Chain A
Amino acid sequence: DQQVKQNSPSLSVQEGRISILNCDYTNSMFDYFLWYKKYPAEGPTFLISISSIKDKNEDGRFTVFLNKSAKHLSLHIVPSQPGDSAVYFCAARGEGGNTGKLIFGQGTTLQVKP
């Protein structure tokens, strides 16, 4: 039962353009969402998060949007840079309050072409 889904395994964009990565979830009890970036053979690096009481959170080139009614969130990267090329994981905090448990999507590989 995949509670967090990233339906696009890969995305390719041109340098300077916008990258939009999408994520869907099924459990309406999820109340905190995170995006991580990962390079091969390394641990994920935190990018940005959003609480379910908000619909948008921005940090520099990264913006996360949350649509609770659609159970959908997206990560926008503007402008995209070649160094952004990596695998991006969407994650939801597990139920039960302040837990360290994260439920991850399958990841989307982003390639930014110079």
Chain B
Amino acid sequence: KAGVTQTPRYLIKTRGQQVTLSCSPISGHRSVSWYQQTPGQGLQFLFEYFSETQRNKGNFPGRFSGRQFSNSRSEMNVSTLELGDSALYLCASKGAAMNTEAFFGQGTRLTVV
């Protein structure tokens, strides 16, 4: 069974640009969540999508958005990039059972210059 796949693994963008990150969850998982990891803030929840609907949202500005497709694949978009957006962006998928763990992808390392 394939794990959670994130593309690309590394990305360098310039301030002001926008970026789209992709996440393919484990087959059969309908919940996909996104997290930002920075040295100072740890792992912070961005949002969760379930069956193409945003189910939860963290405390990030509107420049951060996402969507989920009918095959459960998800994309995350960051517009008007700032230097502080440089981080490791992690995606996690979760199955339908109540008390089960989320499985993480290897992440996308975004560097904003």
Contacts and interface: CB of A to CB of B under 8 A. Distances in A.
Interface of A: 32, 34, 36, 41-46, 49, 51, 89, 91, 94, 96-107
B45 A32 contact: no
Contact of B48 (A44, A101, A106, A107): A101
A41 B45 CA distance: 18
Contact of B99 (A46, A51, A89): A51
7 contacts: A41-B88, A43-B104, A46-B103, A99-B55, A101-B45, A101-B56, A102-B102
Contact of B107 (A43, A99, A100): A43
Nearest to A35: B101
Interface stretch (B13-21, B79-87, B90-98): B90-98
Contact of A101 (B33, B104, B105, B107): B33
A43 B90 contact: yes
B39 to A, nearest CB: 10
A32 B101 CA distance: 10
Contacts of A42: 106-107
Given A43-B92, A91-B43, A101-B45, 15 more contacts: A32-B99, A34-B102, A41-B107, A43-B4, A45-B104, A96-B56, A97-B98, A100-B92, A100-B102, A101-B48, A101-B56, A102-B33, A102-B45, A104-B44, A104-B45
Contacts of A96: 56
B10 to A, nearest CB: 9
Given A41-B88, A42-B106, A44-B104, A49 B99 contact: yes
Interface residues of B, number: 31
A43 B106 contact: yes
Interface in B38-70: 42-45, 48, 50, 55-56, 58
A105 B33 CA distance: 17
